[in-house]
Amino acid sequence: MNANNGKIIGVSGNLLTVEFTKAVVQNEVAYAITGNRRLKSEVIRIRGSYADLQVFEDTTGLKEGDRVDFTGELLAVELGPGLLTQIFDGLQNPLPQLAEQCGFFLQRGIYLDPLPRDRHWAFTPTATPGDRVTAGETLGTVPEGIFQHRIMVPFKLGGVLTVERIAAPGDYTVGEPIAMLRDADDEPVEVTLMQRWPVKIPIRAYAERLRPSEPLVTKVRIVDTFYPVARGGTYCIPGPFGAGKTVLQQITSRYADVDIVIVAACGERAGEVVETLREFPQLTDPRTGKSLMERTLIICNTSSMPVAAREASVYTAVTIAEYYRQMGLNVLLLADSTSRWAQALREMSGRLEEIPGEEAFPAYLESVIAAFYERGGIVRLKDGSLGSVTIGGTVSPAGGNFEEPVTQSTLKVVGAFHGLSRERSDQRRFPAIDPLDSWSQYPGVVSAEQVSAARVMLHAGNDVKQMMKVVGEEGTSIDDFVVFLKSEYLDAVYLQQDAYHDVDGASSAERQRHVFDRIYRMLKCRLSFDDKDGARRFFQRLTQTTRDWNRVDHQAMEFQQIEQRIEQMLAEVSDYA
């Protein structure tokens, strides 16, 4: 039993008020004892000799006078080989192994080792005795799937250390020592394949943080061309239920130009999580031809799990993402959905009786969200290589209201906004990203001048559409009508994309540049028609032909043949050349 004990003096849902005698610290892990169960909790507020703890489990059975053991350690995760392909809960419990032990229903107070202790890894040293190293530098590597997993100097160590001993090449478990270091005080420091790091403290064992400037190609046309995401940048996808947030995230995770994908399902409905767990192992990674799961890690906390664990799942995911960034890898972190994480913050804030902000969310909601997204970014490591964490968070505002606090707080800190529209979703225009409301501060794969002109066309076409609702088609000039048809054509053949088609589901940057250049030239040229019916029939044929073009591999002869057919169609009604 830990020597630092406390006594429960109040229970309110998953909030405990505990009286203690020895020192405790913010974010310290403690265990509340009920019967033979130890329920994991975290210190979230300290007032004199009283501490408020959030419990990550159902608190049924806890009562006044029950003992609480303080561990003296912050809430942390294990970092080492064996993380990839795993499915964890917010506390980094491996869910498949937990299910084997507990059966169909998970039990309280059972915590398993995140990394397998009996698995051996083939360690190859890269450091030699006498080398001087600092936190985050590489001591050796082990193969993990398609990657070389770097075994690094623990991030918690400061100053310059000297390698006294390094293990010979061979097979080791994560708990076996592979190196002995000496710090500046000549104290020995033992290093294993695994290390622990507090989840709420960013990992900063790199040389320099850089400004995101290179586009992250997702192969989703409306994203890469109109509202791009930068490698190491941040973006959000707010939208009402059923608008396609989860599908868009799955497509992005499959085709985005990244090394590792981490999915944090923080409070999603269980049905959506089950779908993700079933589909990811079946999806083929287009980069390797193997299962997508081999470079994926899932943090899963459904809405039926304890509320407090939603917050832990977000921080667990971003800490693991930072860890792989330290290896020079590009990581994509998808948080789905941050609204339910914010709801957990609101519930705890209410139990703490804090002064509420807008819609009863905590007054510090904006700073908490900002601190999370700021942990993304692209960095230069101490060996000169680059690593990045790109964070994409979905938001589920009630009724699709983008003015609510979580969406607005998120928009203030992200670099791109992909707002999903209920209207476009109902019209089956997918991805349902609204081209009139969305924005991005990052460079895309197509020239900014062309994209700007296309956006002007979309807005002009929408203006004509709104006007026609009032005066009717007969009250619209043929020139305005053609502007409307051009904007609808751009929407139908470029902004919309068939996610389930082998070719159209993923459009490379090269293809996007080529196709958009042809479409841009059409948008700029003047088209001549005798009447509106003739214009409508022409655009119907042009739209169908271009959709057929989208479904043909751009290396095939048929791709060139359809392109020539489109140019011939345009030449008949314009000066297109």
SS3 call for 538: helix
What does the pLDDT read at residue 306?
73
What does the pLDDT read at residue 311?
85
Confidence category of residue 577, pLDDT binned at 50, 70, 90:
low
Determine the Cα–Cα distance for residues 124 and 169; give it in Å rounded to an integer. Answer: 5
Laid out side by side, the sheet with 132-133 consists of: 132-133, 161-166, 177-182, 188-192
Determine the Cα–Cα distance for residues 271 and 274; give it in Å rounded to an integer. Answer: 5
Mean pLDDT within 13-24: 94
Q: Which residues of 45-64 are buried (b: 16+ CB within 10 A; e: fewer)?
A: eeeeeebbbbbbbebeebee
What is the H or E stretch that residue 221 is in? helix 221-221
What does the pLDDT read at residue 136?
96
Determine the Cα–Cα distance for residues 484 and 463; give it in Å rounded to an integer. Answer: 8
Q: What is the pLDDT of residues 137-150, one digit of tens each?
A: 999 999 999 999 99
What does the pLDDT read at residue 351?
92
Q: What is the pLDDT of residues 550-567, one digit of tens each?
A: 999 999 999 999 999 999
| Structural contact between residues 17 and 50, judged by C-beta atoms closer than 8 angstroms | yes
Q: Which residues make up each annotated binding site?
A: 239-246
- 346 is written with which tokens? 């609101």
What does the pLDDT read at residue 366?
96
Determine the Cα–Cα distance for residues 15 and 574; give it in Å rounded to an integer. Answer: 70
Q: CB count, 10 Å around CB of 168? A: 8
What does the pLDDT read at residue 269?
62
What does the pLDDT read at residue 122?
97
What does the pLDDT read at residue 287?
80
Phi, psi of 216 (to 5 degrees): -95, 110
Mean pLDDT within 429-433: 95
Determine the Cα–Cα distance for residues 120 and 114; give it in Å rounded to an integer. Answer: 15
Q: Which residues make up each annotated binding site for ATP?
A: 239-246
In DSSP terms, 431 is beta-bridged to none
Q: Is the pLDDT of residue 1 over 60?
A: no
Closest among 46, 42, 15 to 29, alpha carbons compared:
42
Q: For the chain, what percent of residues have pLDDT higher than 90?
A: 80
In DSSP terms, 79 is beta-bridged to 195
Confidence category of residue 18, pLDDT binned at 50, 70, 90:
very high
What does the pLDDT read at residue 400?
83
Determine the Cα–Cα distance for residues 424 and 438; give it in Å rounded to an integer. Answer: 13
Rounded to the nearest integer, the mean pLDDT of the chain is 93
Q: Is the pLDDT of residue 280 over 80?
A: no
| Structural contact between residues 381 and 200, judged by C-beta atoms closer than 8 angstroms | no
Interhelix angle 270-279/245-255, rounded to 10 degrees, is: 20
Q: Is the pLDDT of residue 35 over 50?
A: yes
Write down all domains in the chain, each with its CATH number in brackets.
Answer: 5-74 (2.40.10.170), 86-110+208-440 (3.40.50.300), 121-193 (2.40.50.100), 448-571 (1.10.1140.10)
Q: What is the pLDDT of residues 171-204, one digit of tens each?
A: 999 999 999 999 988 999 999 999 999 999 999 9
Please state the pTM of the whole predicted model: 0.95
